[in-house]
Structure formats: structure tokens, C-alpha cells
């Protein structure tokens, strides 16, 4: 079977935060921004639309999201129109599906859009939506949501490896600092020095407020194109060179080790293997820092440091500018906020902009060629990885 090269040829995000806007309004806003960003793009070019949306049934009381989103954006897809739902990885799932469709020759130009409206008048209602990501009937009755689960990961990591609250805070400080270079970030122009982070209220011990990504409204969209269409839209495409995904459990009872994310190891091995590069060839990475402990465990699972050494890796700035690998330069989920469906797409937008060298100098990777994007979803029971290469339009 022929597999055609596919690239991201541009993308945008809305402002992330607590937005006085509905799901539909965020979707309209990101559609308009996309057409402004890529003036060569015409609505009739877009043959397919993939919509990343995690919980609109509860957050927005709306299903049948794909045609709903198409109408908001002014698109009339005539080949593939579908929603992709993979909780916190719904956005990357939209990109992966668009990639697969184009690579297989079923689409030539596709939009992947992600939208989430999470801030509701009742936060308990919003937290209930989040709890449904877990096994609602069996883990839900105890009150399982993301913070206590990742708190247990942190507790075990501290117990097994001596990881400290200060090392967790180092991740949060870095990502919030980068968010100050990103006006679209929820925490733009908000400073979080480490001593302040260590005084914030505890949400789920040992995790404090600054260890947790927030409930965020936002949208992001990218355009993907087949190799022969790429030159119409950009001289600096981000070519998709590898993807990988792995899931081995859903109910919390069936999780293996909390501190060794086997699923990420396997997904990364698959994606890097398809791209044909070792991890140390990466120039920039967008890792799913839904909690500070996540980024630490991800350093280890990607093989950037030995098992258990993610805490010192963070504290020593090895995931920072001038370190081993620039991680989460747009500000991560911690700094940008985490509108579930939009996050994976906003990460891809950052990769495109890093390759195009259009991000502020304070977060620009020097001469980047390779990038990795990772999303986990649920209780880190699914890991999704994509590898991108900078290049010229062929």
C-alpha cells in the first residue's frame, strides 16, 4: 500500500483560560483564526474534518460534534467527517486520524480541530465530567478523578525513588515561566517562583495547586495536507514521521506499576522507530504535563534519564533551555491550561511554529529538526506519541 507523506501546514489556538464563550463560540473563533493564519486556505480545499472533543455531552450538553463543528467553522467536508474522543488525548487523536486518512489517499487536505469548554457555573458538574474519564461505575463511586490518581503516582515515586516536592515544583516553575512567552496561555503574565509554588494549597496530597493543570476553555486547529498540496500553504511544513499508541488497562485495579509507564515506552518506541531516530536526536518535545509528576515519569519512560531519576533531571534543568532537551516551551498543560480536546492540537501548533521559527526567542529551540508530541489520557492508561520533522515543502 502506498503511504503518502503528510505534513501540518499551519495552525492556531484561541486564548486559553476561563472564557466567557460557549463551545460553539470557541469553535467559530478558532475557525476564523485558522483562515486568517493561512490566507491560501479556502474552505472548499478542506475535504475532511476531524473534531477532538472529550466531554461535550456533559460540558456543553451536545453530541454529534463533527457536523456541529463544521457548521461553526464554515466547512462542508465531503470525504471524512468525524469526532475523535480519547479523553485528554482527543486532539492528538484527531491529528492521527487525519494523518491516516491522507496517508491512505482518502483525503488530500484535512482540518483537525479541538475544542473544550470546561468552566461551568457548577464546578462539581465539571468535575463529574472529568470523573467519567475513569471507570465511572467501579472507580467513580470512591470519587476517582485525575488529581488523586496522579497524587498516588507522586506518592509512590517519592517512596520508591526519594522524589521531592521541590523537584515537582521545578517542573511547574519551568512550564509557568515558558507560559509567560505565550499570550494564549491561561497563566500568561502570572509568575510562579518555586517558593510560592510550595506554599500553594494542597489539592490532592502530595500535589498542590501548582502541580495540577487547570480546567480550561479553549480551541486549537491545524491543517494537514498531502505532500503534493503542501507547497500551496507553507514553505515550512512539519512532516509527520512516526506515530505510536499503547493502552494496557482501564480500571485502576488493572494498572501495573504506577511509576513505570510501560505504555509510553512502547508508544515512543513505535513512533521513534517509524521515524528512524533515537530519542537523543530530538530537538524539542511537548510532553503531557497534566501534573508535575507526569513530566517527571515521562522523562524516565522516554529514556531521557534512568528510572527514578526524573526528579533530579527536572531540578537540574535538563528539560529546560540549554538542557538535554527543550520540553514544553509553549508552557505545557500546567502553564497553558488543559482544554482536553484542544491540548494535543495546541502542542502540534507549537511544533509547527518551532520549525517555522515564529515563536518568541525566549522559547525557540535552536535550529530544530525533530520534535516529539506526547499525550496521555485517563489514568495514564493510554499513551499517544507523534514524531515530526522540519523540512521544506517538497
Partner 1 sequence: MTTETRPRRPSTLAPPSEAVPPPPPPPRKAEPRPFLLDFVPLEGESDTRLARFFQRLREGQLATTRCPRDGALLWPPRVVCPTCHTEELAWVDLPSRGRIYAFSAVLAGAPLGMEADVPFAVGLVDLEGVPLRLFGRIEGRPWNALAVGMEVRVEPYDVGDGRFFYRFRAPE
| Chain residues in the site for partner 1 (CB under 8 A) | 122-125, 127-128, 130-132, 135-145, 147-149, 151-153, 155-156, 159, 201-207, 251-255, 258
How many Cβ atoms from other residues are within 10 Å of residue 254's Cβ? 10
Q: Would you call the peptide bond into 206 cis, given omega within 30 degrees of 0 as the criterion?
A: yes
Residue 16 phi, psi dihedral angles, 5° rounding:
-95, 145
For residue 134, the Cα-to-chain-centroid distance in whole angstroms is: 19
What is the distance between the alpha carbons of residues 252 and 310, in angstroms, rounded to a whole number?
23
| Residue 305 a catalytic site member | no
Please list, in sequence order, all residues whose beta carbon lies within 8 angstroms of the beta carbon of residue 304, skipping any fewer than 6 positions away: 279, 313, 318, 319, 324, 325
Q: How far is the CB of 90 from partner 1 (least distance, A)?
A: 20
Half-sphere exposure at residue 38, Cβ-oriented, CA atoms within 13 angstroms: 30
Q: Which is nearer to partner 1, 18 or 142 (CB)?
A: 142
- DSSP H or E stretch at residue 82: strand 80-84
Q: Which is nearer to partner 1, 155 or 292 (CB)?
A: 155
CA 190 to each of CA 17, 141, 196, 197: distance values in angstroms, whole numbers, following the listed order: 13, 36, 12, 12
Q: How far is the CB of 290 from partner 1 (least distance, A)?
A: 14
Q: Which is nearer to partner 1, 2 or 122 (CB)?
A: 122
Q: Which is nearer to partner 1, 160 or 227 (CB)?
A: 160
Q: How far is the CB of 171 from partner 1 (least distance, A)?
A: 18
Q: Which is nearer to partner 1, 136 or 199 (CB)?
A: 136
Helix orientation angle between 292-301 and 146-161, rounded to the nearest 10 degrees: 60
Exposure letters 213-233 (e unless 16+ CB within 10 A, then b): bbbbbbbbbbbbbbbebbeeb
What is the distance between the alpha carbons of residues 386 and 93, in angstroms, rounded to a whole number?
10
| Residue 290 a catalytic site member | no
Q: Which is nearer to partner 1, 82 or 251 (CB)?
A: 251
The residue whose grid cell reads 491512505 is 104
Q: How far is the CB of 135 from partner 1 (least distance, A)?
A: 7
What is the distance between the alpha carbons of residues 297 and 316, in angstroms, rounded to a whole number?
15
Q: Which is nearer to partner 1, 155 or 167 (CB)?
A: 155
Q: How far is the CB of 275 from partner 1 (least distance, A)?
A: 33
Query: Coil, strand, or helix at residue 50?
Result: strand
Query: Coil, strand, or helix at residue 208?
Result: strand
The one catalytic residue among 88, 212, 305, 336: 88
- Grid coordinates belonging to 383: 499513551
Query: Coil, strand, or helix at residue 63?
Result: coil
The residue whose grid cell reads 467536508 is 77
Q: Which of 118, 112, 72, 70 is nearest to 90 (CA)?
A: 112
The one catalytic residue among 157, 288, 338, 374: 338
Q: Hey, which residues are catalytic here?
A: 88, 338
Amino acid at each position: 500500500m502506498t503511504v503518502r507523506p503528510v505534513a501540518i501546514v499551519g495552525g492556531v489556538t484561541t486564548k486559553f483560560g476561563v472564557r466567557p464563550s460557549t463551545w460553539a463560540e470557541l469553535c467559530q473563533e478558532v475557525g476564523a483564526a485558522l483562515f486568517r493564519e493561512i490566507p491560501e486556505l479556502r474552505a472548499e480545499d478542506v475535504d475532511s474534518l476531524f473534531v477532538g472533543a472529550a466531554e461535550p455531552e456533559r460540558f456543553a450538553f451536545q453530541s454529534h460534534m463533527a457536523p456541529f463543528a463544521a457548521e461553526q467553522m464554515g466547512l462542508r467536508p465531503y470525504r471524512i467527517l468525524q469526532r475523535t474522543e480519547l479523553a485528554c488525548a482527543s486532539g492528538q487523536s484527531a491529528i492521527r486520524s487525519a494523518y491516516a486518512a491522507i496517508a491512505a489517499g482518502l483525503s488530500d487536505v484535512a482540518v483537525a480541530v479541538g475544542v473544550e469548554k470546561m468552566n461551568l457555573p457548577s464546578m462539581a458538574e465539571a468535575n463529574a465530567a472529568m470523573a467519567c474519564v475513569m471507570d465511572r461505575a467501579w472507580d467513580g463511586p470512591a470519587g476517582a478523578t485525575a488529581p488523586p490518581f496522579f497524587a498516588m503516582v507522586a506518592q509512590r515515586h517519592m517512596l520508591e525513588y526519594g522524589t521531592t516536592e521541590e523537584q515537582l515544583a521545578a517542573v511547574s516553575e519551568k512550564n509557568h515561566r515558558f507560559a509567560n512567552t505565550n499570550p494564549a496561555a491561561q497563566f500568561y503574565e502570572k509568575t510562579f517562583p518555586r517558593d510560592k509554588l510550595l506554599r500553594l494549597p494542597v489539592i490532592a496530597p502530595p500535589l498542590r495547586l501548582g502541580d495540577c493543570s487547570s480546567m480550561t476553555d479553549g480551541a486549537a486547529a491545524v491543517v494537514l495536507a498531502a505532500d503534493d498540496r503542501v507547497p500551496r500553504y507553507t514553505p515550512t511544513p512539519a512532516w509527520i514521521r512516526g506515530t505510536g499508541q499503547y493502552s494496557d488497562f482501564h480500571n485502576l485495579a488493572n494498572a501495573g506499576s504506577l511509576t513505570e509507564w510501560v505504555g509510553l515506552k512502547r508508544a515512543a518506541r513505535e513512533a521513534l522507530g517509524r521515524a528512524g531516530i533515537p530519542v537523543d536526536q530530538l530537538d524539542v518535545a511537548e510532553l503531557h504535563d497534566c501534573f508535575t509528576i507526569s513530566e517527571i515519569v515521562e522523562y524516565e519512560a522516554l529514556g531521557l534519564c534512568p528510572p527514578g531519576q526524573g526528579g533530579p533531571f527536572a531540578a537540574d534543568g535538563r528539560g529546560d533551555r540549554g538542557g538535554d532537551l527543550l520540553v514544553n516551551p509553549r508552557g505545557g498543560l500546567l502553564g497553558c491550561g488543559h482544554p482536553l480536546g484542544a491540548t494535543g492540537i495546541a502542542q502540534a501548533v507549537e511544533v509547527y511554529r518551532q520549525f517555522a521559527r515564529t515563536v518568541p526567542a525566549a522559547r525557540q529551540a535552536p535550529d530544530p529538526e525533530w520534535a516529539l508530541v506526547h499525550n496521555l489520557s485517563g489514568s495514564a492508561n493510554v499513551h499517544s506519541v507523534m514524531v515530526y520533522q522540519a523540512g521544506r515543502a517538497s
